[in-house]
Amino acid sequence: MSTSVLLLTHLAFFAIWLGAHLAGLVLLWQMRAAERSGATEQRHMVVALMRIERLSRSAFILMLPLGIELAEARGLFEMTGAGTAGVWLLALIWLIGVWRQPRSRRTDLAVGIRTAQRVLMVIVGLLMLGTGALSLAGGPPLGTSWLAAKFMLYGAALLLTFGIEMVTQPVLYSTEGDSLRPPPPFAVSLEHSLPRASALAVLLYLCLLAAAWFGLTQGA
In order of 133, 168, 178, 179, the CA distances from 182 in angstroms are 44, 17, 5, 6
CB 62 within 8 A of CB 6: no
Q: d(Cα 123, Cα 58) in Å, to the nearest integer?
A: 17
Q: What is the pLDDT of residue 129?
A: 92
**Residue range(s) defining the domain that contains residue 203:** 3-218
Q: What is the pLDDT of residue 127?
A: 92
Q: What is the pLDDT of residue 38?
A: 61
In order of 7, 60, 90, 103, 193, the CA distances from 14 in angstroms are 10, 7, 19, 27, 25
- Biggest CA pair distance of the chain: 58
- One-letter amino acid at 23 equals A
Q: What is the pLDDT of residue 97?
A: 82
- Phi, psi dihedrals of residue 195, rounded to the nearest 5°: -60, -40
Q: What is the pLDDT of residue 63?
A: 87
Contacts 24+ apart (CB under 8 A), 148-155: 149/214, 150/211, 150/214, 150/215, 152/128, 153/207, 153/208, 153/210, 153/211, 153/214, 154/64, 154/67, 154/128, 154/207, 154/208, 154/211, 155/124, 155/125, 155/126, 155/127, 155/128, 155/129, 155/130, 155/131
Count structural domains, the chain: 1
Q: What is the pLDDT of residue 46?
A: 67
Q: What is the pLDDT of residue 178?
A: 44
- One-letter amino acid at 130 equals G
pLDDT string in tens for the chain (220-residue length): 678 888 888 888 888 888 888 888 887 777 777 766 665 556 666 667 777 878 888 888 898 888 888 888 887 777 778 888 998 998 998 888 888 765 556 667 777 888 888 898 899 899 989 988 988 887 777 778 888 888 899 899 999 989 988 887 766 665 554 444 445 555 556 677 788 888 998 999 898 888 878 877 775 5
